[in-house]
Amino acid sequence: MRSDVDVHEVRALYDRAMREHARPDGPGVRVERAGPVVRQVGGPDDWNGVVWSSPDLDAEGADAAIAAQIGHCAALGLPEFEWKLYAHDRPGDLGGRLRAAGFAPGPPETLLVAPAESLTGPVALPDGVTLLPVTDAAGAELMALAHERAFGTDGRRLLHQVVKRLERAPEDFVAVVAVDGDGEPVCSGRLELHPGTGFAGLWGGGTVAAWRGRGLYRALVAYRARIAAERGHRHLQVDASGMSAPILARLGFTAFGTTTPYVYRPAH
């Protein structure tokens, strides 16, 4: 996966399996083909947005598709709607067209991929730290608290999504939280398994500031990689922040481009 040819081939596989033929990321949501785009549709607490757009999309078609998604958001009364734009999506000025229509870009992330089997080696944990599988609401609360402390954001939406996933569709979802000797959460992460695609996704990996640089993030990657490999998933995929991308690159992940969330929030 280090040559340009491999990058293009695996990226094309990712676009086809994980975007054009995307599956719902949890219970209570659905994936729809709406003309030249594929979108996920759920309730106000779910992720709603475009995951794929046709590579044949031209300027006129892009403007029409953007307008249609704004209308879709308004019709459902959603608080926000995201268009997940990849750097290789067409037309080349799609990001500018989204901005002109009222979508606001968030920080870009790097799409990284690595062979799952290559990341399964043992990693030593700091003294007193334990990894706990998240299997119930109490574990989900610890996970949301770790997320809040690591990222400085409200964890209520994550808590809602994890609890719902554990209750209704746990078979292709893995969550883990690291706790210190006092039982306080210090790191957490999720694994989304996509049977039949060859890909498994790493999401939400974050470490509380005081615990960074001590191997926790790497340990959670290895924990999830072992599960992915054991269940037959060849590739691990991450949409990595600027903080995580360098760590993952050192672990052996290859950059496949960037992705930027363009978010539309209706005026009230």
Round to whole Å and give the CA distance between 145 and 184.
9
- Say if residue 137 is in the same domain as residue 105: no
Neighbours of 153 (CB within 10 A): 12
Q: State the average pLDDT over residues 58-64.
A: 97
The answer to whether residue 5 scores a pLDDT higher than 70 is no
Domains held by the chain: number: 2
Round to whole Å and give the CA distance between 71 and 58.
20
- DSSP for residue 51: E
- Say if residue 42 is in the same domain as residue 81: yes
pLDDT at 28: 86
For residue range 128-173, list pLDDT tens digits in order: 999 999 999 999 999 999 999 999 999 998 998 899 899 988 999 9
Structural domain boundaries, residue 32: 4-109+259-264
Report the CATH number at residue 157.
Answer: 3.40.630.30
Q: Residue 236 class from Cβ within 10 Å (0-12 exposed, 13-18 middle, 19+ buried)?
A: buried
- Provide the β-strand partners of residue 206: 188
- Say if residue 252 is in the same domain as residue 121: yes
E strand spans, 54-172: 81-86, 104-105, 109-115, 130-133
- Say if residue 122 is in the same domain as residue 220: yes
The answer to whether residue 3 scores a pLDDT higher than 50 is no
- For 54, left (φ over 0), alpha (ψ -120 to 50), or beta? beta
pLDDT at 8: 87
Report the CATH number at residue 85.
Answer: 3.40.630
Q: State the average pLDDT over residues 209-219.
A: 95
Confidence category of residue 2, pLDDT binned at 50, 70, 90: very low
Q: Tokens 């009222």 belong to which residue?
A: 102
For residue range 72-115, list pLDDT tens digits in order: 999 999 999 999 999 999 999 999 999 999 999 999 999 999 99
pLDDT at 268: 66
- Say if residue 122 is in the same domain as residue 105: no
